[in-house]
Amino acid sequence: MRFKWTLGDILDYELFLGEELDSLSPSENLRTWFLNYRGRITPRRILYSWLKSRRSFATAVLPGKTVNRLYRIIAVILLLFGFLTGSGLGWGVLSYAGSNPVNLFMALTVLVGIPFLLTSLALILNAIPSGGNRSRRMRDRLMRFVRGSVDFSRRVGIMDREHADAVIGGISRFRGRSVIYRSLLRWSVSQPVQLRALGFHLGIFSAVLWRGVVQDVAFAWQTTLNVSTQSLYNFIFSFSRPWRVLFPPPSISQIAGSRVILKNGIDALDNADLVVWWPFICLAILSYGVLPRLLLFIYSAIRRQIVLGNLSFSDSKSHKLLLMMKTPRVDTAGGEPYREEAASSDSGPSRVSLPASKVFKILIPAERTDLMAEETWGESLHNRWGVTLEGVTAVALDDEDDAQILRTTLGKMSGKTGLILVFEGWRPYTAAAGLYTEFVQSLMPEDSPLLIALAGRPGTGFEVENRDKDTFSQWRRLMPNCEFLDMKGWG
């Protein structure tokens, strides 16, 4: 069996992982599968084999294969787009009338100089480690691009609606865990970007080569600056260092012969001196454009494979899945009905342990205007825990819509600040709520506590009606890693 992870494998793994951990009870097949597993006892091998097994029994459309195919299609499109852009630029720069040859300095600047500066900038950016803010911006842009690509693919018939929905669902889960896959995200973006840049330089090279071989193209140089022929020769000689052993640059006599004086025109110039420059420009594009971009593309591809090959799966969710595989299960009772944890509304605080944080922030659904006012929250927190309230923020409970406000609200949190996140507990639990919670946790310091509060129906505050008790219980079962506040008696 091939143990080589791909981006599509990661998306399918996150999908199955979420299903396994969100299930009401651990699957008996999980433990049975592990007992029948024959292979190296390493997280990578175990989880990859488990993924293959889950795929073989899956009936729904999975995002993995579709994403891998879409990734290849996008790479080809970017390569072609870069090639067409580069060839268009090269063709435009080399367009000239018979009496007005192409300006050598302009051609070198536009076709070689500026692309080389952009390549140098790409080298610098690749050498800089990706920080948290940079990774988040890259992730958000990538998600928007993928969503747009999926929508476009569905419109033109490349992908049907079922596969499109599977991809959107897969990347939504991946987005909530993108902090774990930061390096994979970085190099997965870098590889097609470098491929597009490579296509751009190949397009420029092809345009120059075509104009030089098939059509007539003449170069001449002129400047109002006091640049001597010897000075230009010295520059050209140094500039051609990468290839001058095999292909010598224009000689000083050829450089002098291609200098044009506007008032004299080009009639007196030798045509052999005017056409000697296009091979030089082709070699410059290859040496300072195509080759560096090719190396950057290969480097990005290698780094991406290294990241995929070194995935440790040491995060808490993967660890929990492995623990479920390795630990025998003993069921002694059925499902536990919902019960209120507080003895009464006027006796003692809720049974959540006293937090170490001295300051709390609150996030509430924006449409729930009936929930506690800021003064009520502050009074309740002070009376029960002796802590202070830093602020109440209304949110849409959507990771895309709330991205900016969450970064602003949570970005400056320290380990001494806790957070209470309010959901509407009377509504059925959805995977979007779990992804939103993971997104919030990714923005918080690791040592900051996150508490979940469940609100009742509009107008009832945090009271639980009898018809909603099963729904409230479902939230607690499907978010086992979260600590819930018992809100009875608050406010």
Span 136-188, pLDDT tens digits: 666 666 667 777 777 777 777 777 777 777 777 777 666 667 667 878 888 88
Task: Calculate mean pLDDT across residues 22-38.
Answer: 72
As a whole number of angstroms, the distance between CA 443 and CA 404 comes to 11
Query: How does the average pLDDT of the chain come out, rounded?
Result: 80
Q: Which of 43-73 are b and which e, b meaning 16 or more Cβ less than 10 Å from the residue's Cβ?
A: eeebbbbbbebbeeeeeeebbbbbbeebbee
Q: Which residue has the tokens 């008032």?
A: 263
Least confident of 103-112, 114-123, 354-363: 354-363
Q: To the nearest whole percent, how much of the chain has pLDDT over 90?
A: 15
Q: Please determine, for residue 199, whether its predicted confidence score (pLDDT) is greater than 70.
A: yes
- In which element (H, E) is residue 447 found? none
pLDDT of residue 257: 80
Q: Please determine, for residue 340, whether its predicted confidence score (pLDDT) is greater than 80.
A: no
- The DSSP line for 101-122 is PEEHHHHHIIIIIHHHHHHHHH
Span 351-362, pLDDT tens digits: 444 455 678 888
pLDDT of residue 196: 94
pLDDT of residue 347: 37
Span 450-461, pLDDT tens digits: 889 898 888 888
Query: Going from the N-terminus, what domains does the chain have, and what CATH number goes with each?
Result: 64-308 (no CATH), 359-484 (3.40.50)
Span 408-418, pLDDT tens digits: 888 777 767 88
pLDDT of residue 32: 81
- In this structure, what DSSP letter does residue 466 have? G
pLDDT of residue 197: 94
As a whole number of angstroms, the distance between CA 241 and CA 284 comes to 10
